[in-house]
Amino acid sequence: MSRIWIIAQHEYQTSIRRVGFIIMTLIIPLLGLVALLVSAFYGGQATEFLKGQFGMEPQAVGVVDESGSYFTPIMDRYENQYQLFADEPAARAALLADEVTTLLIVREDYLGTGQVTVINKGSGFGAAVIEDSRSARSFFVDHLLRGEVDPALRERAAHPFAIESLTIDASGEIQGGGSLSMITTFVIPYFTGFLLIMTIFVSSGYLLQSVSEEKETRVIEVVLSSVTAQELLTGKVIGLGALGLTQILIWLLSAWGLSSGATTLMALNIPLMDRPEVLILAVVYYLLGYTLYAVLMAASGALGTTMRESQQIAGIFSMLAAAPYMVSSFLFSNPNAVLARVLSFFPLTGATMMMLRLPMAEVPTVDIIVSIIGLLLSIPVVLWAGAKVFRMGLLMYGKRASLPQVIQSLREA
Amino acid sequence: MARSVVEVRNLLKRYNGFTAVDGLSFDVYEGNVFGLLGPNGAGKTSTIRIIMDIFKADSGEVRILSEPPGAARERIGYLPEERGLYRNLKVEAVLVYLARLKGMAGDMARRRAAELLERVDLTQWAGRKVKDLSRGMQQKLQFAASLVHDPALIVMDEPFQGLDPVNIELIKNMIEELREQGKTIVLSTHQLNMVEALCDRIVLINRGRSVLYGELEEIKHHYAPRTVRVRTATALESVSDIAPVERHGADLVFTLATGSTPQQLLRVLVERDVLVDAFEVASVPLEEIFIAVVKEDSSE
């Protein structure tokens, strides 16, 4: 077995047992589980879930109709959400007994003033919730227009729109539709890209740690008597890159487990059928971006005298790589703006910028070609320079290499 | 003459204008223990790192086992001065990994690791993490790591550093065993008593240059004070014509003339029926030679 593979195997086996790696790998599925519960809650499923788990009954909003006509009786479609009370004392008693969560008291002069009193137990947060609730608005509109206008018009006034989202590509062709389209063409590729970018940072962070530790513990000189600096660097990049891919695989498998396979199938199959180039290019940019940052992190690890110092040096490169995220809110509306294109062409920001842009819009082919060529050309340069700095920095114990020393090492044959 | 295992010719290494190694040349012969000596900052570690292909020389030629540096990595063992091991790995795993980096197959590496751990009394620690070992134990483990792939040439920089007398004796015996097995050893140490006990040949470096080089015995002979200490009850007058002589207590100290040898003196004493109780050719410790040569060179 070649020495590069032995190093890669060693790095992989050592790092996969690190506590930091295990926590980082488990935290994403745990967050997924939390997100699943939250989305279930807002989708109304949590109520059923909690009811099933704890035998709880759903709670309604109490209504006292002092106007005497508009909300009496409550329409059938709202019976599960709203409960009518004869007067305020009875409603308050129900609120205190936790039979309802909130009280809506429609005042006598409601038609003239629109005045509604909201009473909650403990905090006034419920009033804000009612004010912003589309469901509460529909409840009021539906009841106010009952019997006054055509039922179809009343229905439309209560629920004025049902959005269908479509996108148009450069050729003028309409694609997708509805929230599923949004999920498959934007959300999933965006978060897949986000996870890949995060993995680049995590894996290259392990590389920084590995190099820094070998230098700090002085084991590096023994290793360098057995292998060249280039072999050591290459072995570490491969081993820790494989570690990053393992992490992604675990995340995907956990997503499969959490959603009984549906989310994973959607994440992999639908984008592949819909916009296969997004996922394929995401993997290409992952590999190129990881290689570039891994070498930079290894060189940073070699230059610092301690782990902390190495992290400070590496922070310069991390800031550059994270720059596209700093402008991501601007990118949502302008994914092909000049700034986005410039950052795509610059190799140190190219991989992360393209991973962000690709799911958002049809990125011009020239941008993809130029950014990939930029990365492909810069990787050998960074590998060459990184290996030299790596070799020079590794054997400088107790003092950090100065800039002239770094330049000198690049000049040496 | 034995084959030259390490050939160094006109080696030059500079760092930012400072000349660390300045035209250094020497040979290390097969089966020898070779002492690479010098004061701190003399250029020993730079020379060793060039031999190990960790540094590149600015000029000069180096051949290791008849090949350029780096080409014979798998046949060289190295115990560096700046040493350390993977603190969170198990003792046996460290040896196996380093052996595999040197091209040894996994099974063979494990077998060899077990043999060496037994030899340095660390068998019971094989399954423990390196960080659990004492400093002396880590030193022995590092020594074992330099031998784990059964190299033909071993370069040792301060192998006795941090060891107690018992473990110094253990390492010394292991070095002697290696020599008996025909291995070649380059030994760099400030413990000159060990150099005297182990080395066949030495080079003394000062300011990057060779200031003393050759067979250790010849060097010691060259620097010996040319005096012979004789213990005898015979009267001084009967031998006073052989060489200038002084009485130092119970001993006579003869100062040999140029061209005279201790053997000639002993022959004359026997011919004259001088009763010799003790006959000792005076020698000078390597440490004194080291100090004298370095001081002289530094004052130039």
Chain B: closest CA distance from residue A246 (Å): 22
Between these two residues, A222 and A52, which has the higher pLDDT value?
Answer: A222
Confidence of residue A411 (pLDDT cuts 50, 70, 90): low
Q: Do both A242 and A108 map to the same domain?
A: no
pLDDT of residue A40: 60
pLDDT of residue B94: 94
Domain extent, residue A115, equals: 58-158
Highest mean pLDDT of the ranges A326-330, A380-384, A400-404: A380-384
Show which of residues 199-228 on chain A sit within 8 Å of chain B, judged by CB atoms: 214, 217-219, 221-228
Average pLDDT, chain A: 77
Q: Do both A131 and A203 map to the same domain?
A: no
Of the candidates B52, B83, B103, which has its C-beta nearest A218's C-beta? Answer: B83
Q: DSSP letters of A336-355?
A: TSHHHHHHHHSHHHHHHHHH
Instruction: Give the count of beta carbons closer than 10 Å to the beta carbon of residue B20.
Output: 23
Give contacts of A405 with chain B, Cβ < 8 Å: 16
Chain B: closest CA distance from residue A191 (Å): 35
pLDDT digits over B55-111, tens only?
889 999 999 999 998 888 999 999 988 778 888 899 999 999 999 999 999 899 999
Give contacts of A224 with chain B, Cβ < 8 Å: 52, 54
Q: Do both A242 and A382 map to the same domain?
A: yes
Mean pLDDT of B210-215: 94
pLDDT of residue B216: 92
Highest mean pLDDT of the ranges A102-116, A263-277, A398-412: A102-116
pLDDT digits over B110-138, tens only?
999 999 999 999 999 999 999 999 988 99
Highest mean pLDDT of the ranges A17-21, A289-293, B94-98, B218-222: B94-98
Confidence of residue A143 (pLDDT cuts 50, 70, 90): confident
Domain boundary, last residue among A158, A192, A213: A158
Q: Do B101 and A397 touch (CB under 8 A)?
A: no
Distance, in Å, from the CA atom of B237 to the CA atom of B252, rounded to the nearest integer, reads: 11
Instruction: Give the count of beta carbons closer than 10 Å to the beta carbon of residue A113.
Output: 9
Between these two residues, B159 and A123, which has the higher pLDDT value?
Answer: B159
pLDDT of residue B248: 81
Show which of residues 305-364 on chain A sit within 8 Å of chain B, judged by CB atoms: none
Mean pLDDT of A160-181: 64
Query: Which residue matches tokens 């799911």?
Result: A359
Q: Tell me if chain A has a CB within 8 Å of the CB of B73.
A: yes
Q: Which residues contact A131 (CB under 8 A, 6 or more apart)?
A: none
pLDDT digits over A346-360, tens only?
988 888 888 888 877
Lowest mean pLDDT among B9-23, B58-72, B250-264: B250-264
pLDDT of residue A52: 44
Q: Which residues contact B183 (CB under 8 A, 6 or more apart)?
A: B31, B151, B152, B153, B154
Q: Do both A209 and A328 map to the same domain?
A: yes
Q: How far is CA A198 from CA A28, A84, A257, A283, A355, in A?
A: 11, 52, 22, 13, 11
CA-based nearest residue to A392, from A236, A239, A224, A206: A224
pLDDT of residue A124: 62
For residue A164, tell me if it sits in a domain.
no
pLDDT of residue A1: 58
For residue A171, tell me if it sits in a domain.
no
Distance, in Å, from the CA atom of A233 to the CA atom of A7, rounded to the nearest integer, reads: 9
Comparing alpha-carbon positions, the chain B residue that sits nearest to A407 is B16
* Yes or no: domain B4-220 corresponds to CATH 3.40.50.300: yes
For residue A198, tell me if it sits in a domain.
yes
Q: Do both A304 and A344 map to the same domain?
A: yes
Mean pLDDT of A129-135: 72
* Six token digits for residue A407: 């330049």
Domain spans, chain B: 4-220, 225-281
For residue A165, tell me if it sits in a domain.
no
- How many Cβ contacts (< 8 angstroms) between chains A and B? 66
Q: Do B54 and A226 touch (CB under 8 A)?
A: no
For residue A80, tell me if it sits in a domain.
yes
Q: Tell me if chain B has a CB within 8 Å of the CB of A16.
A: no
pLDDT digits over A34-83, tens only?
776 776 665 554 454 444 444 445 568 889 988 877 888 888 888 888 88
CATH architecture, range B225-281: 2-Layer Sandwich (3.30)
Q: Do both A185 and A303 map to the same domain?
A: yes
Q: Do A221 and B85 touch (CB under 8 A)?
A: no
Asked whether the predicted pLDDT for residue A291 surpasses 60, the reply is yes
Mean pLDDT of B140-169: 93
Q: What percent of chain B has pLDDT over 90?
A: 59
Q: Which residues contact A17 (CB under 8 A, 6 or more apart)?
A: none
Distance, in Å, from the CA atom of B131 to the CA atom of B91, rounded to the nearest integer, reads: 9
Confidence of residue B194 (pLDDT cuts 50, 70, 90): very high
Mean pLDDT of B247-265: 82
Mean pLDDT of B250-273: 84
Give contacts of A227 with chain B, Cβ < 8 Å: 73, 101
Q: Do B16 and A405 touch (CB under 8 A)?
A: yes
Give contacts of A219 with chain B, Cβ < 8 Å: 83-86
Comparing alpha-carbon positions, the chain A residue that sits nearest to B88 is A14
Of the candidates A221, A228, A405, which has its C-beta nearest B82's C-beta? Answer: A221
Give contacts of B49 with chain A, Cβ < 8 Å: 395
For residue A87, tell me if it sits in a domain.
yes
pLDDT of residue A327: 76
Q: Is the pTM of this model over 0.90?
A: no
Chain B: closest CA distance from residue A408 (Å): 8
> What is the number of structural domains in chain A?
2
Q: Do both A18 and A119 map to the same domain?
A: no
Asked whether the predicted pLDDT for residue A274 surpasses 80, the reply is no
pLDDT of residue B108: 93
Of the candidates A7, A219, A408, which has its C-beta nearest B16's C-beta? Answer: A408
The domain spanning residue A117 has which CATH number?
3.40.190
pLDDT digits over A95-122, tens only?
888 888 888 888 888 888 888 888 887 6
Q: Which residues share a beta bridge with B215?
A: B201
Whether A208 contacts A390, CB under 8 Å: no
Q: Do B54 and A224 touch (CB under 8 A)?
A: yes
Whether A142 contacts A75, CB under 8 Å: yes
Confidence of residue B35 (pLDDT cuts 50, 70, 90): very high
Mean pLDDT of B272-296: 87
pLDDT digits over B199-209, tens only?
999 999 999 99
